[in-house]
Amino acid sequence: MRRVLTAVLALSLFACSEDAPAPAEAEKPATASAEKATPDKPDAGKTAPEKAKAEGPPPPTPLPEGANPALTNPELAKETAPASYKCTLDTSKGPIVVQVTREWAPNGADRFYNLCRIGYFDNAKFFRNIKGFMVQFGMSAYPAATAVWQESTIEDDPVVKSNKPLYVTFAKTNAPNSRSTQIFINHGDNANLDSMGFAPFGQVVEGGDVVGALFTGYGEGAPSGRGPNQAILAKFGDVYLSEAFPMLDKINKTTVSE
């Protein structure tokens, strides 16, 4: 296996070569060795970034054997959700139970239902966690799934409920109908998000303490902060997070119940 330093540097260098933003805090290059390269030691004298670039980036995280076909085909996951249902997130810190009420945000409730049902969040990390604000997840551990689902957006829902603590909402851009798979759980009272079109579709009814215990040490994501870079995460999947951000908590599995 390649060393963590080499893997992280390779990720950073490869992303830069593809015009994607680099991680906020890449490892510093090792001091160049005075040893000269020889036929027996072709890498001698190279810095760590040079070795990483020569070796190339690690392969993207592959889909697991027997993965649900809907992970790479959103057309197979368009069921209408029940009026009320629960999705349990079995996380590395314990279970989090989200109670969804479809009438709050029908489009969001349907999308979350299908994502939970097909295991889209399985093995995914909570990649952005800001104290007092929110914790975000919803980028697949597998780039093949992220690539198709991030293009499969849903129509906006009217904001019926406010973004109160432990209410659950889809992330979105400033563009209309831009919600896809990214979701956040509010830590604090974020009522300021209501007028921006962020429509809660459910709330955490069990495991609020687990939400509060999820790792926050990396803070805001790159390039604004030192946390994960979403462009690199989309390209490489969990191999990037596991190497560069090993403290992140994860969702082991999701289970839907009524």
pTM for the predicted model, two decimal places: 0.81
Please give the residue that has the higher pLDDT: either 24 or 230: 230
- DSSP letters along 103-131, please? GG-HHHHHHHHHHHHHTTTTT-B--EEET
Residue 129 CA to residue 135 CA, distance in Å, equals: 4
Non-local CB neighbours of 93 within 8 Å, separated by 6+ positions:
210, 213, 214, 249
CATH superfamily of 69-257: Cyclophilin-like (2.40.100.10)
88 closest CA partner among 124, 113, 125: 113
SS3 state at 157: coil
Q: Which residue ranges does the chain devote to CATH 2.40.100.10?
A: 69-257
Q: How many CB atoms lie within 10 A of CB 215?
A: 16
Residue 124 CA to residue 64 CA, distance in Å, equals: 13
Q: List, for residues 84-100, the tens digit of each pLDDT value.
A: 999 999 999 999 999 99
Residue 135 CA to residue 148 CA, distance in Å, equals: 23
pLDDT beyond 80 at 254? yes
Work out the burial of residue 217: count CB atoms within 10 Å of its CB; fewer than 13 is exposed, 13-18 middle, 19 or more buried: exposed
Q: List, for residues 19-74, the tens digit of each pLDDT value.
A: 322 222 222 223 233 333 344 555 555 544 444 455 667 899 999 999 999 999 99
Please give the residue that has the higher pLDDT: either 195 or 37: 195
